[in-house]
Amino acid sequence: MDEKSNSSHQRFLVVLLMVLIFGVIMIQYVCPSKSECQMLHHLGSWFTVGGPPRPRIGDNEMQDGLQKDPYIAEDGALARFVPRFNFTRAELYRVVDFNMKGDDVIVFLHIQKTGGTTFGRHLVRNIKLERPCECHAGQKKCTCFRPGKKETWLFSRFSTGWSCGLHADWTELTSCVPVVMNKKDKKSVQKSKKSFYYITMLRDPVSRYLSEWKHVQRGATWKTALHMCDGRPPTQDELPACYSGDDWTGVSLADFMNCPSNLANNRQVRMLADLSLVGCYNMSSMSELERGHVLLASAKANLRNMAFFGLTEFQRKTQYLFERTFGLRFIRAFTQINSTRAASVGISEKVRWRIEGLNALDVELYEYAKELF
């Protein structure tokens, strides 16, 4: 009797053990990523290693064998965003087959006061390359040739200069870059097989707006910008100046906000949208509300279709996303600098609401970008 009881007990333990092993296998099959089924993986680790999960170096490895951001505690706020938009996996996990030795070109759309100058310098001075960019003291531009060729793989302020105009926007770049690049490489547009990968940087709209105000207050104008659209610049009636004289030095924040034609308002949406869809700078072609809807939808679509974009507030994640997208590596890690001039500006809640109202399209785009990031 005792022998039968022991035998039954042993069979029960064997069956139970097999069920547990099968369960662990199923966990690994159904949830291959720890981020997808965190609790189940913790449960499975009890049986696979004989105890509770412990931190280890391998936990810092990302899917596809890529390294996770080691500074996740610093900018982990992204994980707390409540999803509002339905993005496809392809939109969220963008990887391009960038061929530096072929004809591919990275085009940097530099929006004012988004940290673009710093990022632009990273592109020419901080990437591990077979043939590094040649940068010389005292020169504003670097030479970024492909290995074995005298052709550039990068279209940016610090490589090709403002070849399509000062701070050229999406509308200007998409019509200008192919012509300029083929002229530089002495190729006809028809025969060229170049792939242009557009990238940009975005920033919190209120911080960006305040930063632009401080910049203009110190004497910046960008008045040499072309603002080309449908083959022509805007007329003075279409884009009236906010000030008389050479610049707007010393402008107060109130006066800066009170100029209706101030291009600082919703700058990020305007520079990412196809302006030809709204009659360029002709404000009479449609209502302000309709114009805003069209511009925002266009900016969102162009942002989705970009090979890469970064966020000023998340420097490390910007670095690793660029590295994963293009298969390139930076030499030195990006640093997060929050002590900007904009950060030092103290504004009331009422003024903040006013700025958000003037930049309502940018606010919506930035929320969209944070989730797409």
DSSP string, 266-288: THHHHHHS-GGGGTTT-GGGS-H
Please enumerate in sequence order all residues whose Cβ is within 8 A of that of 168, keeping only pairs 6 or more positions apart, or say none.
Answer: 109, 162, 176, 225, 226, 228
Torsion angle, alpha carbons of 261, 263, 265, 266, to 10? 130
Please enumerate in sequence order all residues whose Cβ is within 8 A of that of 194, keeping only pairs 6 or more positions apart, or say none.
Answer: 103, 104, 105, 178, 181, 182
Q: What is the pLDDT of residue 7?
A: 65
Q: What is the pLDDT of residue 332?
A: 96
pLDDT along the chain (373 residues), means of 10: 61 73 59 44 44 42 40 49 77 89 97 97 97 94 96 97 98 97 71 86 98 97 95 97 96 98 99 98 96 99 97 96 96 83 79 98 98 93
Q: What is the pLDDT of residue 79?
A: 52
Residue 43 CB: number of other CB atoms within 10 A? 16
Q: What is the pLDDT of residue 187?
A: 63
Q: How far apart are CA 255 and CA 249, in angstroms?
A: 12
**Which one is catalytic: 167, 215, 227, 293?**
167
Q: What is the pLDDT of residue 226?
A: 96
DSSP state of 100: T
Q: How far apart are CA 69 and CA 343, in angstroms?
A: 25
Strands 154-155 and 196-202: unpaired
- Are 170 and 280 in contact by the 8 Å Cβ rule? The answer is no
Query: What tokens appear for 77 in the block?
Result: 């706020």
Kindly report the CATH number that applies to the domain delimited by 88-372. 3.40.50
Check if 167 is active-site. Answer: yes
Q: State residue 192 phi and psi, 5-degree precision.
A: -70, 140
Q: State residue 108 phi and psi, 5-degree precision.
A: -95, 115
Torsion angle, alpha carbons of 155, 296, 255, 224, to 10? 30
CA end-to-end distance (rounded Å), the chain = 67
